[in-house]
Structure 1
Amino acid sequence: MTGRRAANESLRALLATAGWTYEALARNVNALGAENGMRLRYDRTSVAHWLAGSVPRPRTRELIAEAFSRRLCRPVTLAELGMGCPAGPGAPGAAGPWGEATAAERGDAVAHLAELCGADADPARRNLVQESVCSAAGFEVPRWEERRGRGPGERTGGGAPGGEEDTANLRAAVEFFRRAGDFGGRHARTALVVYLRDDVVPRLHGGGPGGAPPRLLAEAARLVHVLGRMYVDDVRNGAAQSYHRAALRLAAEAGDRTVYAAVLRAMSEHALEVGHRRAALRLAEAAVRTASADTPAHDRALLLAQLALAQAATGDGEGAAATLAEAERHRVPAPGAALRGTALPSSRASFAHCRGRALAALGDRAAAVAALRSSVEHHPATAHLCRALIHAELARLLLADGRLEEACTAWHRFLDDYPHLRSGRADRALAELRGNLRAHAAHPPARALLCRADAAGRHEGPWRSRAQHVQHGGV
């Protein structure tokens, strides 16, 4: 007969320190689950089981640690919870994104990337990366360059000369995988992880005593940035954080302020998407601050548009309007103008999309709808993911404005692109569409759209969407 489990006094002490009831802890864990693509239904009974000594499944333990970390504004480990220790350096439950602690101590951006994509490409270990928890620490503005004694754009030491052919090959790979992302974050993602592990990391390690050439590091950073965005689209937010920060480390090592600012902007977008508004503002401010004096005008316009969006999201409407006006002055040049190489999208479509989101956050729905429609018009027909997500945003705005038939038209355009996608965000938008339209099912246009949306949902196969994790209380 097994002995009785010991009560978890460590967890009880943390509850007292946090000032939380059982219900409050369960509620925060459920909210973090939603942030990480999980549907959880823990309640006070679940917490009572944990206090009595039951140990929840590993990912739930990580969520509990993250909940206390945010509440107490300091890292809380699994050991402090009385629920064991992480499996190893960089495993889930450690502070910060996967693999960062050990690599940061060595100060080696390439070694960090090797650890990260090496685990991600290994079937036995990839869950450590792909199922890692989105952490508040992962949205902190990085300080690596301060510890190294220089900032982005101030590379010291020569680095290996040459590498032009490798750099050109990586640049082509960035464009290839960026276009693959037009079909959603799950499309070609595994191929990109393996390419990073088997091709990119060896090239970066082969740079000689001075390290890899800066241009090669910068292109590698762009490629890792693409992978981070793929994970954002698949709603694997912990993995996205890890790759974004790996891209930052490479960009800092390359001394490339343009790439560094681009990744900070992507992190700001990601932070807003999962509800970290203050972090999104800090990241957007850092992106604008980091950009160099010779950053192309269209890149600076996108940085400023993201800052305006973050300002509006945090309640600074006056600041957001002023920043958006400044962004307009840097807007994308006319078609046919020469564009220099950049880590940021350089199209009118990208700027119009970002501007539309900022205007929506400012409450100017009419202008936001016009900007989003302009963005769709400038996206090519093959940009299925961007077009689908923008049409979903349009439909939400139009429905909120009481324009049901126009909203239905936008949702139909979303459904036109949806069959081409392997995208967590698109799957989530489809679920939202089906939920919101049920209240309008008496109207013929909405009823017809709902039938089409239900058919699209029924045809989701295992190749389309990863299963949602569902828990119903208990441990």
Structure 2
Amino acid sequence: MARPVTNAAFEGLLLAAGYGNAHAAFARQLNHAGRNEGAWRYDAASVYWWLRGRRPGEHAQAAMAETLARKLGRPVGVTELGFGAAESIGMCVYPATVDGAIDTAELIWTRLAKQLNQHASGAFDSGKALEAALGWRYDLPDETVSRIGRQQVTSTDVHSLYALADHFTDLDRRHGSGSRHTRAVMADFLVRQVAPMLHGTYTDAVGRDLMRAAATLSGQLAFMSYDAGEHAMAQHHVTLGLRLAKAGDDRLYGAHLLANLATQAVFLGHGREAARLIEAAIDGAGRAPAAVLARLHATAATAYGQSGERRACQLALTKAERALDRTETDPGPRWVGYFSAAHLAGAALRCLGDLHLYTQALRHAPEALTLDSQNTRTRALHTALVAMTYARAGDTDAACNWASKLRQHVAGIQSARVRQRVHELATTLSPQQASPQVNEVLQTLATMPAAIYSKSASRHIR
């Protein structure tokens, strides 16, 4: 028995335009109208579900209004369609529905694929980040994510997405994400393969797994965009990933994504906002495995350190250390397997240094460099951080010694974060540039592929 129509306004427009018994024809016209937005695959089943309460994305609604206006011979406003207030897709808004998340995914993946060569990014919006955290934490869970579409999606199809996510994660850790080629390949795959799967036919169980896989891919693309310095795009993808993780009923990965958002906020100097984000992540994770808790509390420590909350920072470090001690018996999901004692030591080095507790910070320096071989970018980041901490502590000789080791670690890495860390190191050392040793190190840093200097900093290097 067919479900009753709940969107009478949309049904009335379809009848008036001659599409009352021609839903497939309307879907074809809609696909044609939206041909510049990506590979739309709407069909009669899509129209069926829109009439019964599902809400398409903003861009799809605009194409609907255009298609209906052409048939009716008069302007049709989006508000006439009966779907309620339009969501601001592309502005880091947390989608209210699963359908909204699916349409948002297709739109921003398509935008990314088109804009990779336009050097367009935008600013990080801390207010929208906090709104996304609240939506993820407190919105009600989705009753079902099952869907009827054109393409049948199976568990085997979904598992292949996890394998691809692992591949991109490995590339990112080894080489950084400054190269647009890797992100272009990933964006193209998402548009051509993953978006059609999200619009396909699947049961609730397969759909939940598909949402989790799509969240993993979106989260990886977010981190790659962040590493490349594309901060608005990174925030778009974290927000999307949070909503997909919510649909996939995966609170642990959602907490992980929110921690990534907090890490991005720390990088950009939003320490207090980062603290609120990671607090929401820890609260939402609940009784999480030890490995997940270690990562979350380590991120909390960096947020508290930057915002000057000494007691909270040291308490978070203690919690992270205790959790890390339990990881052998409570390892957690595979995606958190990267987090090690070296990563925690790097976080301690960073946050204690921010609090000007340099002696305490430098106790963590040796362990911060005990990284697995595949963590090439992290090794470069930690080496530069060790050098910078020695410089801030007033030990110029040790700072120069560690800075001189950077060249071997930055080779082959393309990363805005590494460039920024090298720039911060050069800026910290520049007041001592009269020293021949420091001047030589500054000259070395200036010739590194990862080094970027402002005009004011480069004038100190002669």
Same fold (TM over 0.5): yes
Structure 1 residue 326 displacement after superposition: 2.1
Which among 404, 410, 414 is matched to residue 418 of structure 1?
Answer: 410
Structure 1 residue 100 displacement after superposition: 4.8
Structure 2 residue aligned with 1:346 = 339
Structure 1 residue 466 displacement after superposition: 13
Structure 2 residue aligned with 1:157 = 144
Mapped contact 2:320–2:344 kept (Cα < 8 A): no
Gaps of 5+ in 1: 1-88, 469-475
Structure 1 residue aligned with 2:437 = 445
Alignment of 1:166-245 (within 5 A): 166-182=157-173, 183-187=175-179, 188-208=182-202, 210=204, 213-245=207-239
1:383 equivalent in alignment to 2:370: no
Q: Report the TM-score when normalising by structure 2.
A: 0.70
Structure 1 residue aligned with 2:57 = none
The verdict on how the C-alpha distance between 1:369 and 1:198 changes in structure 2, with shifts beyond 3 A counting, is farther
The verdict on how the C-alpha distance between 1:321 and 1:97 changes in structure 2, with shifts beyond 3 A counting, is farther
SS at match of 2:90: coil
Opposite residue 349 of structure 2, the aligned amino acid is G
Distance 2:200 2:99 in 1: 18
1:366 equivalent in alignment to 2:359: yes
The verdict on how the C-alpha distance between 1:439 and 1:228 changes in structure 2, with shifts beyond 3 A counting, is same
Mapped contact 1:98–1:242 kept (Cα < 8 A): yes
SS at match of 2:385: helix
Structure 2 residue aligned with 1:121 = 113
Opposite residue 366 of structure 1, the aligned amino acid is T
1:455 equivalent in alignment to 2:447: yes
The verdict on how the C-alpha distance between 1:169 and 1:456 changes in structure 2, with shifts beyond 3 A counting, is same
Residue-by-residue CA offset, 1:338-368 (whole Å, 9 max, x unaligned): 7342443332222222233233234332232
Mapped contact 2:294–2:321 kept (Cα < 8 A): yes
Distance 2:368 2:230 in 1: 26
Structure 1 residue 212 displacement after superposition: 5.2
Structure 1 residue 413 displacement after superposition: 2.5
Mapped contact 2:263–2:274 kept (Cα < 8 A): yes
1:282 equivalent in alignment to 2:276: yes
The verdict on how the C-alpha distance between 1:300 and 1:450 changes in structure 2, with shifts beyond 3 A counting, is same
Cα RMSD after superposing both structures: 3.3
Structure 1 residue 428 displacement after superposition: 2.5
SS at match of 2:448: helix
Mapped contact 2:290–2:327 kept (Cα < 8 A): no
Structure 1 residue 101 displacement after superposition: 5.2
Structure 1 residue aligned with 2:247 = 253
Q: What's the % identity of the aligned pairs? A: 22
Residue-by-residue CA offset, 1:219-275 (whole Å, 9 max, x unaligned): 221221111111111222111111111111111111101100001101111111112
Mapped contact 2:90–2:104 kept (Cα < 8 A): no
Mapped contact 1:258–1:343 kept (Cα < 8 A): no
Opposite residue 219 of structure 1, the aligned amino acid is A
The verdict on how the C-alpha distance between 1:210 and 1:366 changes in structure 2, with shifts beyond 3 A counting, is same
Distance 2:314 2:242 in 1: 29
The verdict on how the C-alpha distance between 1:107 and 1:387 changes in structure 2, with shifts beyond 3 A counting, is same
Alignment of 1:398-437 (within 5 A): 398-437=390-429
Structure 1 residue 118 displacement after superposition: 0.9
The verdict on how the C-alpha distance between 1:347 and 1:219 changes in structure 2, with shifts beyond 3 A counting, is farther
Distance 2:427 2:87 in 1: 37
Residue-by-residue CA offset, 1:262-316 (whole Å, 9 max, x unaligned): 01101111111112222111101001001032x2101101111222332333333
Which of 109-118 and 181-190 deviates more?
181-190
Q: How many residues align?
A: 362
The verdict on how the C-alpha distance between 1:132 and 1:169 changes in structure 2, with shifts beyond 3 A counting, is same
Distance 1:399 1:284 in 2: 29
Bigger radius of gyration among the two: 2
Structure 2 residue aligned with 1:297 = 290
Which among 139, 146, 157 is matched to residue 129 of structure 2?
Answer: 139
Residue-by-residue CA offset, 1:368-390 (whole Å, 9 max, x unaligned): 2232431211x123422111111
SS at match of 1:331: helix
SS at match of 2:347: helix
The verdict on how the C-alpha distance between 1:270 and 1:158 changes in structure 2, with shifts beyond 3 A counting, is closer
Distance 2:207 2:232 in 1: 30
SS at match of 1:226: helix
SS at match of 1:121: helix
The verdict on how the C-alpha distance between 1:244 and 1:466 changes in structure 2, with shifts beyond 3 A counting, is farther
SS at match of 1:131: coil
Distance 2:330 2:165 in 1: 20
SS at match of 1:456: coil
Which of 234-243 and 351-360 deviates more?
351-360
The verdict on how the C-alpha distance between 1:301 and 1:210 changes in structure 2, with shifts beyond 3 A counting, is closer
Distance 1:249 1:317 in 2: 33
Mapped contact 1:389–1:414 kept (Cα < 8 A): no
Structure 1 residue aligned with 2:257 = 263
Mapped contact 1:232–1:240 kept (Cα < 8 A): yes
Residue-by-residue CA offset, 1:120-165 (whole Å, 9 max, x unaligned): 1125x975x9423322333214243578533xxxx52264798332
